[in-house]
Structure 1
Amino acid sequence: MSPTEQYNSILTLLRAGALEQAEKEYFRLGLDTVSDNEDILALGGRLLKSRMVESHQSHKRELARQAAEKYYHAYEATGGTYTGINTAAMQMLAGDIDNARATADEVLHKTRGYSPKPGQDAYYHMATVAEAYFILGDHARAETNLTDAISLDPENYDAHASTLKQFELLATVNSADISWLDKFRPPKTLHFAGHIFGLDGDGNILDEASVYGLGKSILDKILSENIGYVYGALAAGSDILIAEKALEANAEFHLILPCPDELFIQTSVMPFGEHWVSRFWACKAAAKTVRYLSGDNLKTDDMFTAFASETAMGLAVLKAERLATKPLQLLIWDQKNPTAKAGTARDAKVWEQAGRDQIIIPYPRDTRKATGAGDNTEELTASRDLKAMVFADVRGFGALTDSQVPVFIDKILRPLAICVNTQGRQLEHLNTWGDGLFLVLDSVEAAAKVASDLQETFRAIDLAEIGLPEFLALRIGGHYGPVHEMRDPFTNRIGVFGTEVAFAARIEPVTVPGSIYVSEPFACALALSAEEKYRCETVGKVEARKGQQALKLFSLRVR
């Protein structure tokens, strides 16, 4: 591999959350000796910065100091403003304020002699100027230059978010007031839901005036809250009306359905009026992305409706975190039926329990039937349970010699087994084979904990000391979805079955060794229930085994 390819391979590991593996590869490939490439020179600092962000508070300053030294070495060798401003930032986080400001001032002078290209280059140039002023304590000029930066590349929201997160990190040094950053935040994200209704004599009707009032209220909220991204389904009535108003406001619409189009239309659109069907197709055609949580054309139930809603909510939260903005929920709701297994009331409860802001537009009048029709779910009996699944194995196990296997079992599998056995009642099913492990837990938070505990346990083992090769690495895959719990005819024990189990098994083999990859539904559910403890960062679509579709995966990391 060329140095550039080696550099990109380290970045891939970093983005996958495999920090230890990234550090090992950085030294193994000799990238610490490169002296003529600013990006590669800065990589040592970036690795230490990543470790600092994930470390305990008591270690942060020392790691920031080490990162500052690495960045400064790169800055001294190349004179680049990228490594210069990162040197200043790490010096500030290390508590070396005087040197941080001296470096920032030097970088500021360098930027005056540079003419950036239009677009992203110009944005980062002005963002560097803004960061330099922020480190120098001149927040008024930082604000002015950040305003200019965003005007030069106004829709590059990922870049804006990166800058905002850097300012927030720097502000922790002296508890600086950064409320002025809020006006620079990208548009907000929105999860939406509401009651089903029909028109003109269809089931659960609302009159024209009520529907007009709902539409106006929806559009007003979307515009006033600066909503840029919306996530939800397209049942007749509230869902379609909200999606239409979001598209009218030029928001990006992401469609999440519990089942394929034909079955969804049959159960949640057509019964409330044929005119809703054409509106369904029009909204779907305008959607930025479309997701189906089940491929079953024959049957859907409350479980998949709830699963789809959780995924839609989680997607809104994940997008907001990525963009350093705020997620909201918009409901057209009568505030009844709080014990429903699926639908608007359940969505409201799940979102509220996470302590996030809701916008509730009252349902105009109660036209719903006593059976509960009119919500965005059928009252069907769930035949499955939502479970979190974890697959794990040790990369390199097959290369061990026969004499090494007993050591592996005693020094590696035994500590991992102890780790698993501490999970208590949250661990519902367990299966092992060789170095392989399959766990089923009652929640994604429990699954995230056992996965991170297993990875930490493995990392604490000194492979060289116990006489095993250092290429051994634990890889873990996680998934969340509806499964059938049934008795296995071979073992006579209760086990889990279904397409979601098969999907879960596909993740671990493509996981970067030393990291934890999880599916999008897992990441969404975790963002809803334990965002303050864990974070999931997208690693994009990962090629699966031959003949299988690429998987959209996330790296799971402890905050």
Structure 2
Amino acid sequence: MTSEAAIMLCAGQRLDAASAGTMGAEALAALRREIRDELARHAVAVGYASASAGADIIFGEEVLARSGELHIFLPCPRDDFAEQYVAPAGEEWMARFRSLVASATEVEISCEERLIGDDTLLRYNNQILQGMARIHAERLGGHARLLAVWSPEAPADPGSPADFMDQWPELEHLSLIDLDDLRQRTGHGGGPSADLSGSVSALAIGLSPLVVRAILFADMATYTSFSDEQVPLLWDFLAEVQQVVEARAKPPILINTWGDAVHAAAETALDLAGYALALVDAIATLDPEPFGLANRPRFRVALHAGPVYVGLQPLTGRSMVYGHHVNRAARIETVAAPGEAYASQHFVALLWAEMDSLQHEARLTGGTYRRPYRVEYVGRVKLPKHFGSEALYRLLPTADTSNER
């Protein structure tokens, strides 16, 4: 036994009706033993997983059997998920799914879209799992470890265990269970196809209408304190702010403004974090007095991320992103503190996964990478317009303070 990791993620090949019938009780029992052994070997106290029929559910059951914390992240609403990724394996798995989600420490829905079968949502859910597990592990002073339960000959479709492994940078923190080998050892051979759902749709081969984007909404909390005569002076001030931001940060791939509001999107959380903090810092440090302003404007900035639709606004011809996650980002902006950048746990999870990947790459090449950002947990905040609540973090540059969170 080792104390190397107190936190483990599971990425498991899911079972469908055919594979659930051919896997066999002996093979499933062997799979449970191997998962149990991995949890014990690494002294796992916290588990992160989805809840597909098969290894995910067995992993969750074994984490709970150890009296551990279980954090479940589903890529779509619970009923849709169960219909697509649990029900095909049979009612027994459905009953176990219901019991598991009822006993978990938390159950989070990564995306409210009802686009069943879209593997973009699965890949995004894996990114959220990875980022949240890494943040949790660092808070405990340890490492997150990935347990991949996979069929080696299975294609690395988006969201699959093989795809998850491709996105996991640290081989030293990776455990593997080979389903094909396990089946043969227990007399249930038949090749990798018996372990796969076998359903290949247009969405599964890269034609998803969704893409993952980092999203920013900001508005000027102090806008109403400026008189009409001061507004042209305010625009002059913001023009200077923009020059500072352009010199410091990579511009977003999309940016729109209306009145005192700003909306932007970027391909990575790292890019948008840099833009957001450059904007906040420039406004906070640029002297407004030479522009004839008695008061300093302050922006509320919200950062979020998720699968969105992209297209052209039909009335303006401008690029746009739209969907549930864009609306959620707008709701977060209304509760952000003036002069600060608030980020959702989805954004923070992607940011941490991206920074960890760069840090690991630097170690492999003999270089160094210092994370440019840190976060402080604000709390779970109720959002307006029936958007529920959101776990929010304050995003800060590491240059100003230590890496402690």
Give the TM bin, normalised by the shorter chain.
0.7 to 0.9
Give the Å deviation of 1:450: 0.9
**1:401 has 2:227 as partner:** yes
**What is the aligned partner in structure 1 of residue 315 from structure 2?**
490
Task: Indicate how the Cα distance of structure 1 residues 278 and 370 shifts in structure 2: closer, same or farther if over 3 A, else same.
Answer: closer
**What is the aligned partner in structure 1 of residue 327 from structure 2?**
502
**1:189 has 2:28 as partner:** no
Aligned residue for 2:76, secondary structure, equals: coil
Aligned residue for 2:299, secondary structure, equals: strand
Contact 1:343/1:376 (<8 A) preserved? no
Give the whole-Å Cα distance in 2 for the aligned partners of 1:197 and 1:526: 31
Give the whole-Å Cα distance in 2 for the aligned partners of 1:265 and 1:250: 25
**1:552 has 2:369 as partner:** no
**What is the aligned partner in structure 2 of residue 537 from structure 1?**
376
Per-residue CA distance 1:178-219 (angstroms, 9 max, x = gap): xxxx97x9x7122111112368x6557323332222211211
Task: Indicate how the Cα distance of structure 1 residues 203 and 548 shifts in structure 2: closer, same or farther if over 3 A, else same.
Answer: closer
Task: Indicate how the Cα distance of structure 1 residues 433 and 337 shifts in structure 2: closer, same or farther if over 3 A, else same.
Answer: same
**What is the aligned partner in structure 2 of residue 258 from structure 1?**
75
Give the whole-Å Cα distance in 2 for the aligned partners of 1:413 and 1:361: 56
Aligned residue for 2:168, secondary structure, equals: helix
Aligned counterpart for 2:54 among listed residues 214, 219, 237? 237
Contact 1:195/1:375 (<8 A) preserved? no
Aligned residue for 1:379, secondary structure, equals: helix
Structure 2 residue runs of 5 or longer lacking an equivalent are 184-189, 357-370, 399-405
| RMSD of aligned alpha carbons | 2.9
Give the Å deviation of 1:534: 2.1
Give the whole-Å Cα distance in 1 for the aligned partners of 2:21 and 2:192: 5
Give the Å deviation of 1:471: 5.1
Aligned counterpart for 1:321 among listed residues 133, 138, 147? 138
Task: Indicate how the Cα distance of structure 1 residues 198 and 302 shifts in structure 2: closer, same or farther if over 3 A, else same.
Answer: closer
Give the whole-Å Cα distance in 2 for the aligned partners of 1:192 and 1:373: 18
Give the Å deviation of 1:404: 2.1
Task: Indicate how the Cα distance of structure 1 residues 549 and 271 shifts in structure 2: closer, same or farther if over 3 A, else same.
Answer: closer
Which range moved further: 187-196 or 437-446? 187-196
**What is the aligned partner in structure 1 of residue 119 from structure 2?**
302
**What is the aligned partner in structure 1 of residue 213 from structure 2?**
387
Give the whole-Å Cα distance in 2 for the aligned partners of 1:401 and 1:375: 61
Aligned residue for 1:308, secondary structure, equals: helix
**What is the aligned partner in structure 1 of residue 238 from structure 2?**
412
Task: Indicate how the Cα distance of structure 1 residues 298 and 360 shifts in structure 2: closer, same or farther if over 3 A, else same.
Answer: closer
Contact 2:154/2:192 (<8 A) preserved? no
Amino acid at match of 1:433: W
Aligned counterpart for 2:193 among listed residues 331, 353, 369? 369
Task: Indicate how the Cα distance of structure 1 residues 298 and 514 shifts in structure 2: closer, same or farther if over 3 A, else same.
Answer: closer
**1:525 has 2:350 as partner:** yes
Per-residue CA distance 1:199-252 (angstroms, 9 max, x = gap): 8x6557323332222211211111221211111111111111111111111111
Amino acid at match of 1:447: L
Give the Å deviation of 1:553: 1.0
Give the whole-Å Cα distance in 1 for the aligned partners of 2:322 and 2:159: 23
Give the whole-Å Cα distance in 2 for the aligned partners of 1:370 and 1:249: 30
Contact 1:232/1:254 (<8 A) preserved? yes
Task: Indicate how the Cα distance of structure 1 residues 471 and 545 shifts in structure 2: closer, same or farther if over 3 A, else same.
Answer: farther
Aligned residue for 2:208, secondary structure, equals: coil
Contact 2:19/2:195 (<8 A) preserved? no
Task: Indicate how the Cα distance of structure 1 residues 513 and 255 shifts in structure 2: closer, same or farther if over 3 A, else same.
Answer: same
Amino acid at match of 1:393: D
Give the whole-Å Cα distance in 2 for the aligned partners of 1:298 and 1:520: 22
Which range moved further: 537-546 or 486-495? 537-546
Give the Å deviation of 1:389: 0.9
Structure 1 residue runs of 5 or longer lacking an equivalent are 1-181
Give the whole-Å Cα distance in 1 for the aligned partners of 2:145 and 2:224: 48
Higher RCO (C-alpha under 8 Å, 6+ residues apart): 2
Aligned counterpart for 1:458 among listed residues 283, 307, 317? 283
Task: Indicate how the Cα distance of structure 1 residues 291 and 479 shifts in structure 2: closer, same or farther if over 3 A, else same.
Answer: same
Amino acid at match of 1:396: T
Amino acid at match of 1:188: A
Per-residue CA distance 1:276-309 (angstroms, 9 max, x = gap): 1111111111111111123345634111111111
Aligned residue for 1:415, secondary structure, equals: helix
Aligned residue for 1:325, secondary structure, equals: coil
Percent same amino acid among aligned pairs? 27
Amino acid at match of 1:387: R
Give the whole-Å Cα distance in 2 for the aligned partners of 1:253 and 1:300: 25
Task: Indicate how the Cα distance of structure 1 residues 393 and 484 shifts in structure 2: closer, same or farther if over 3 A, else same.
Answer: same
Q: Comparing both structures, which one devotes a greater share of its residues to strand?
A: 2
**1:445 has 2:263 as partner:** no
Contact 1:390/1:447 (<8 A) preserved? yes
**1:357 has 2:173 as partner:** yes
Amino acid at match of 2:375: C
Aligned residue for 1:492, secondary structure, equals: coil
Give the Å deviation of 1:384: 0.7
Per-residue CA distance 1:57-109 (angstroms, 9 max, x = gap): xxxxxxxxxxxxxxxxxxxxxxxxxxxxxxxxxxxxxxxxxxxxxxxxxxxxx
**What is the aligned partner in structure 1 of residue 89 from structure 2?**
272
Give the Å deviation of 1:548: 4.6
Aligned residue for 2:22, secondary structure, equals: coil
Aligned residue for 2:7, secondary structure, equals: strand
Give the whole-Å Cα distance in 2 for the aligned partners of 1:554 and 1:397: 24
TM-score where L is the length of structure 2: 0.83
Q: How many residues align?
A: 373
Amino acid at match of 1:508: E
Contact 1:394/1:472 (<8 A) preserved? yes
**1:210 has 2:34 as partner:** no
Give the whole-Å Cα distance in 2 for the aligned partners of 1:320 and 1:538: 15
